[in-house]
Amino acid sequence: AYDGDMDVESDHSNSACFEGDSCDTAGTGDANADGNLDVLDVVIIVGEILDPQNDDECFQETADLNGDGQLDVLDIVILVGNILDGRTVDASSAIFNQSDNGVTIEADGFIAGVEMFISHGEDFSIELTEDAMVADYVTKGNITHLIVVAPESGNLFTSTGDFTIDEAITANTQGE
């Protein structure tokens, strides 16, 4: 049988043959392919989420830990959970508190990651917490996309200028 979509034909059966490269690291989170899961992998994947540069299909499959076809903080929290291997008590709820000078979070347990999109004027500036496994952001125009992984304090960031939280995802090691 011939499969036109895959451009392959099987010889002795009526099903198409699969021809393609396999990705040995798919779904593992080992972004630097060093055989270890650690903060280096988290940093690489956070960087790719904030400023996509890597179009390698195997990298995308490796970093997409939840298999939903997109990279976001939900993949990061699975990786953090694998790195920490059950050494935390996950939060079951969290509350964001927005003030004129930043955002804090209150939770009843471990927060593995926060991802936010915030809109703001030209006069906006931001400083992310240093009390986290990884904290990074990218600003394009008047939109800032930020990720804070495993915040150790309630302070996510301080800022100057007005801003609006357009979208926020908070997750423990089990997901959103």
At 8 the pLDDT is 53
Question: 127, 174, 121, 125: which is closest to 155 by C-alpha?
Answer: 127
User: Model's pTM, two decimal places?
Assistant: 0.80
Kindly tell me if the per-residue pLDDT of 12 is higher than 80.
Answer: no
Kindly tell me if the per-residue pLDDT of 118 is higher than 70.
Answer: yes
Gap between the terminal Cα atoms of the chain: 43
- The rounded mean pLDDT for the chain is 87
Kindly tell me if the per-residue pLDDT of 97 is higher than 90.
Answer: yes
How many Cα neighbours within 13 Å face the side chain of 88?
22
Tens digit of each residue's pLDDT (9 = 90 or more) over 124-157? 999 999 999 999 999 999 999 999 999 999 999 9
Pairing of strands 113-120, 163-171: antiparallel
Kindly tell me if the per-residue pLDDT of 19 is higher than 90.
Answer: no
The neighbour count for residue 142, using CB atoms within 10 Å, is: 12
